[in-house]
Amino acid sequence: MVVPPKYKTKIKMTNAGLYYGSRHALKDVTADIRDCAITAIIGPSGCGKSSLLRLFNRMNDLIPGARVEGEILMDDVPVYGKDTDVVSLRKKVGMVFQKPNVFPVSIYNNIVIGPKNHGVKRKAELDEIVERCLSQVALWDEVKDILKKPAQSLAPGQQQRLCIARVLALNPEVILLDRPCSGLDPISTAKIEESLINLKEDLTIILAPHNVQQARRVSDRVAFLLMGRLIEEGLAIEVFNNPKDQRTSDYITGRFG
């Protein structure tokens, strides 16, 4: 875990809460998400990690009966403001899911579909975006000679890196990753983790890892959730080495979860 010397706040949550109908999924979450850092959200299954990720790009809007309380600001602008352009928000805040969801088109077209939809038409510019984004996820050398092949022909680890590259093609400011390495082999996992560490120089990354060990390897900050409540948040090196709450200690040492 490498801790950058300076931080600024990218996202600020104050008493953020989330309901699915009558179910209170997240309760009074107050925390700052730092810019140009990897924040790992850890906790046992069902604690609210995925729900918290979806708050940041309003994916919960798509769930009937979902209701958000409190305040969430990104760059001091309300994420849930009446004038918020949700399409623009989701361009700024990209998301990568647990299961690779490549589009049934070529590797090349998976990357350029977003830029094309936002007005990029010149082939030279599209080619540059493809090479840049695939290089950022350490995939360019593996696929540069097969860009016209279907994306679904790639191995699962390659497909997941392609999904990350597709998000990068829209020049996001924040990337949300929901257990992106779950089910992947160790080599693919290591390549994704290395890419995330490099990407944080320019991006805010919020990760729900598939295990505590991954959070230890890559995160700068850690937020521990339990039953929808934020129990502890801080520098990863401090949370893992000297947790303030006994429940955090019990979880990271494997006593439950």
Give domain 9-252's CATH superfamily: P-loop containing nucleotide triphosphate hydrolases (3.40.50.300)
- Give the whole-angstrom CA distance, residue 190 versus residue 186: 6
Q: What is the pLDDT of residue 257?
A: 73
3-state SS class at 137: coil
Q: What is the pLDDT of residue 1?
A: 47
What's the count of helices (H) and strands (E) in the chain, helices before strands? 10, 10
Query: Is the pTM higher than 0.75?
Result: yes
* Structure-block tokens of residue 243: 């947790």
3-state SS class at 39: strand
Q: What is the pLDDT of residue 255?
A: 87
Q: What is 80-121 written as a DSSP string? A: T-TT--HHHHHHHEEEE-SS----SSBHHHHHHHHHHHTT--
- Give the whole-angstrom CA distance, residue 34 versus residue 173: 12
- Give the whole-angstrom CA distance, residue 196 versus residue 130: 18
Task: Determine phi and psi for 73, rounding to 5 degrees.
Answer: -115, 140
Q: What is the pLDDT of residue 6?
A: 55
* Structure-block tokens of residue 122: 């010149």
Q: What is the pLDDT of residue 5?
A: 46
Q: What is the pLDDT along the chain (257 residues), one digit of tens a residue?
A: 444 445 689 999 999 999 999 999 999 999 999 999 999 999 999 999 999 999 999 999 999 999 999 999 999 999 999 999 999 999 999 999 999 999 999 999 999 999 999 899 999 999 999 999 999 999 999 999 999 999 999 999 999 999 999 999 999 999 999 999 998 999 999 999 999 999 999 999 999 998 999 999 999 999 999 999 999 999 999 999 999 999 999 999 988 87
3-state SS class at 7: coil
